[in-house]
Structure 1
Amino acid sequence: MEPNKNIDAARQKAAGVLAAQKARERRNRILTWSGVGVGVIAVAVVVGVVAGTSGGGNAQAAASKSATTAVSAAQGSTQAPPWAAPADASARAQAAGLSMLTAEGTAEHIHTHLSITADGKAVTVPADIGIDLNAQLISPLHTHDTTGIIHVESPVVKPFNLGEVFTEWNVALSAGQVGSYGTSGGYTITTFVNGKQRAGDPASIQLANHEDVDIVITKGTATASAPAAFTWPAGY
């Protein structure tokens, strides 16, 4: 084999190893939130298995129940940003009609990107929406960082919507309100999906894989325009 072909083969092998490592890391995120060691990880795995098998599969049953109670309209605070992740993630998930899990579900696994721009300034979508760090529980809808990527990792396949995310976040969302920004205060709320304007209540938008949802808030005569398309990181 020629030298340059050897180099290419080595690079391909290294890339494959890196991709496999990233996949393992994503699967184990729920077990490593607090930087715990291998012993705690093993305990968490056992707890997850017991919770999933006892009583006919509690996680599966709870998630199935949530399918009938999920809300479409966002229920949350009308405070001004910044909007932090809620202190009680489990309570906010319950308000959204979602059940907390002991591990990320695998039946449905998609990612949607969310951005919010208010008066020309980006509003941060915080990490740990839908993640109860104290109880070590996680919602099927959650964030791991501040990229705006919404993770949908559910043990059952069902539609999820943006209203559920905002309810978990504890931020009001409707056609005429985003947090403290409302049409009654002279603001205009414009929603874009993959760069195209979407009419109606943004809370009803169904989450779809690699979809880019942008909420742009303007005041007065300012014209809303869609932000640049989101660049998805490798591995998503």
Structure 2
Amino acid sequence: MTTTHTFIGRAAAMLLASALGAPLSGCGGGGGSAPAAPVVTPTTPAYQLAANTTVLTPGVTVGAATWPEGSTASGGNGAPVAGVNCLVTEDYHIHAHLTILRDGNALAIPAHIGLQGCAYELHTHDQSGVIHVETSAARKFTLGQLFAVWGQPLSRSNVAGISGLPVTVLFNDNDTVLEWTGDIGALELTSHRSITIELGTVQHTVPAYRWDSSL
């Protein structure tokens, strides 16, 4: 009887251990180890809009003054530049926005870009980063054309004279932030599109803006 009870006790212990996932020892023919937990590789966080919102009102300054006011000598000074002409009528009038960050710090876009010699179809009024697109009829304008009117370089290796830093380009349409990996100059200036050029350290929190009713 003792032998029978011992056998039943050992069998019950084996079943219990198996149900609990415990290793079986001293039972012969070992059942193998439990499967390893899956390895989770951290992913790069998505770009998020900042919690604090800057209202884009006429005259507001966004960032620290970095470049001289207006277009440079190689920019727009009265003659057509890169397909951008002097303004005749403003039957088509929209606004886009440009932010340039260097290691997370905003650099103010100069006032009065495109207002030398004439008022160009692309221009700025203040240091808000708001780009005024004004022309006689709706047509496509690009970031490269703005920089041409400004008279500053724009590439993956040089943005407005700042070079030697990694360049990341993001754009925000209706609170959806995406990275632009193509030619920077080809990025279109559409109504209320916010473009952020990051120089140096990548910021996963992108500045958030709200458009004033006048814009």
Normalising by the smaller structure, the TM-score range is 0.5 to 0.7
Counterpart pick for 1:225 among 204, 211, 214: 204
CA-based RMSD? 2.2
Whether 1:203 aligns to 2:185 is yes
Larger relative helix fraction: 1
Query: How far apart are 1:138 and its partner, in Å?
Result: 0.9
The answer to whether the 8 Å contact 2:104/2:202 transfers is no
The answer to whether the 8 Å contact 1:126/1:143 transfers is yes
Letter in 2 for 1:120: G
The answer to whether the 8 Å contact 1:216/1:225 transfers is no
Segments of structure 2 that go 5 or more residues without pairing to the other structure are 1-57, 59-65
Q: What is the correspondence of 1:181-196 to structure 2 with a 5 Å cutoff?
A: 181-182=162-163, 185=164, 187-194=165-172, 195-196=177-178
Query: How far apart are 1:200 and its partner, in Å?
Result: 1.5
- Identical counterparts, % of pairs: 31
TM (normalized to structure 2)?
0.61
For residues 183-216 of structure 1, give each alpha carbon's deviation from its aligned partner in whole angstroms, at most 9, with x where no partner exists.
xx2x110011012211112111011001110001
Larger relative strand fraction: 2
For residues 209-230 of structure 1, give each alpha carbon's deviation from its aligned partner in whole angstroms, at most 9, with x where no partner exists.
0111000101xxx333342221
Counterpart pick for 2:153 among 172, 179, 195: 172
TM (normalized to structure 1)?
0.56
In the alignment of these two chains, the number of paired residues is: 146
User: Within 2, Cα distance between the matches of 1:145 and 1:104?
Assistant: 21
Query: How far apart are 1:234 and its partner, in Å?
Result: 2.0
The answer to whether the 8 Å contact 1:190/1:224 transfers is no
Letter in 2 for 1:201: D
Letter in 2 for 1:85: G
Bigger relative CO (Cα 8 Å, ≥ 6 apart): 2
Whether 1:94 aligns to 2:94 is no
**Larger gyration radius, structure 1 or structure 2:** 2
Segments of structure 1 that go 5 or more residues without pairing to the other structure are 1-25, 27-80
The answer to whether the 8 Å contact 1:112/1:207 transfers is yes
